[in-house]
Amino acid sequence: MNLSSPAQDRRPYILAAGVILLCAGLRVHLAGMPLERDEGEYAYVAQRLLVGVPPFADTFTLKFPGIYVIYALILKWFGQTDTTIREVLILTNAASCAFLFGIVRKISSDRAAIWSAAAYAVLTLNSAVLGMTANAEHFILFFVLAGIFLLTHSTKLPWSFAGGLCFGLAVTMKQQGFFFLFLGAAWILFRARNAKSLVIYGLSALIPIGIMLFWMRKAGVWDSFIFWCFTYPRHYGSAWSASERLYFFLSQGGRLAAHFFTLLLAACAGGVIAWKKEREAGALILFALLCGAVAVTPGWIFRSHYFLFLMPGLAIAAGLALARVPAISLVALIVAAPLGWDHALYSATPKDAVRQLYPDNAFSETRELGLWLQRRLKPNETLAVLGSEPEIYFYAQHPGVIPYVYTYPLVENQPYAEGMQRHLMALLEKQPPDFIIHARIPKSWLVQRGAPTHLLEWIPTYLESHYIAERVIETGADRNIILYRRRQ
């Protein structure tokens, strides 16, 4: 940045930096929100990892283990609280903005770079993509943008090697990171057409992936890892009809369009500008959007946070257009995006915000229950949660005796559901835990049509025979969480 340039030339930098700081401020305001269930899963499995228990040993999840390593580092270095997790997310998002600035500055202009970074800050904050929660997508994009930054600086062999490592690390975060390997390869071919750089890139990307696979084999959880990360996901969402998937896609797409209307218009204009005038930027936008779009579609279940994968391409395109708009219009345009639609982000308390964002869930209540259990449970007492609320284990700082951190797979119409149900029932009958939490919340189960119902019929009988209700937490109409204590 040239600080000696006239004030009118510095104004876009100052204004865009203000937008990024505003978005960071909104994130700080909501850093104390209770963890939602995905964050709770990552934090709980990370807790187990910190005491030497690898993923898939006593926790069954669908994600690659890299995200648990990231969370374990956060918990180890910064403390085991929800606030520290979100504070690290703020730093991660800011670093992603910085990488994006460096990328666009190299292939376009300083002005386009700063507004691309500002657009990314806005797009990745919004509630339409659950941008304020520390989902794995944020960390995937951090490594993807770091990789693109390195490859944009140079495609010589050392830079290709470092870039490949970053893209490989993105893959270890979650399966969808795999699709971005093609982004790095396409970018090398476009900029350098150098076969050696491409080979070095591919080999270095395999290093983190190879380490992950070696770790799973060495830890003795290979079979469980393969089943939960590859075998079962082939059936994930299989019970959804084509019309249901289309409806969900259209509803999510409509919500995104409403939240990001001005920035989407800017992105469309930026795409035209790139097509006509900026060949490198246009190619990167195209590659990023194509890979991001594929990463959104696994299982054809269009989760809100999956759409974060589109944001680098959209941010670059929007930045090209915003760089050509007068500064005052820029502020009105880009600041209106988060403030006009995300009232919960800048006016509500963290507890009220999580209720607005997740109205049919009970994340405030599960945090309170988990913290109460942390004080109540003795080290030798055992705990199980019947429901998809792994955040309770995290807050309680107490491991569960059942490996199913989510009950969704057990009540899906998929070929392994009945076996999973029988496994869970056998575990509880063989060694009844001292305490059971029954989350009687529809969103914690999402029972699918055609799914086996043995477990749902068994739970009330089992609890009535072996347990006494000690605490009931009402979470809404016909929704509650019940803590049961085993009969003596």
Residue 397 lies in a domain: yes
Q: Convert the pLDDT of each residue in 335-383 to its tens digit.
A: 555 555 566 566 788 888 888 889 889 999 999 999 999 999 999 999 9
In order, the DSSP letters of 360-391 are TS-HHHHHHHHHHHHHH--TT--EEEESS-TH
Domain co-membership, 343 together with 374: no
Give domain status of residue 354, yes or no.
no
**Closest alpha carbon to 424 in 440, 408, 413:** 408
Q: From CA 421, how far away is CA 407, in angstroms rounded?
A: 9
Pair 345, 368 in one domain: no
Do 132 and 252 lie in one domain? The reply is yes
99 and 191 inside one domain: yes
418 shares its domain with 462: yes
Position 235 scores a pLDDT of 80
pLDDT mean over 298-307: 82
Q: Which two tokens stand for residue 158?
A: 């050392």
The answer as to whether 462 is a domain residue is yes
Res 79 pLDDT > 80: yes
Q: 320 with 369, same domain? A: no
The residue out of 349, 374, 406 marking a domain boundary is 349
Residue 357 maps to a domain: no
Is residue 255 located within the same domain as residue 141?
Answer: yes
Contact 463, 429 (CB under 8 A): no
326/192 same-domain check:
yes
Residues 138 and 257 in one domain: yes
Residues 310, 256: Cα–Cα separation, whole Å: 11
Q: What average pLDDT does this structure show over 396-424?
A: 95
Of 304, 320, 349, the position where a domain reaches its end is: 349
| 395 assigned to some structural domain | yes
Residue 395 sits in the same domain as residue 331: no
Q: What is the pLDDT of residues 22-40, one digit of tens each?
A: 888 888 888 999 999 999 9
To the nearest whole percent, how much of the chain has pLDDT over 70? 92
Domain boundaries, position 412: 363-486
Instruction: Determine, yes or no, domain membership for 23.
Output: yes
Q: What tens digit of pLDDT does each residue of 200-253 get?
A: 999 999 999 999 999 999 999 999 999 999 999 888 766 666 777 777 777 777
User: How many domains, the chain?
Assistant: 2
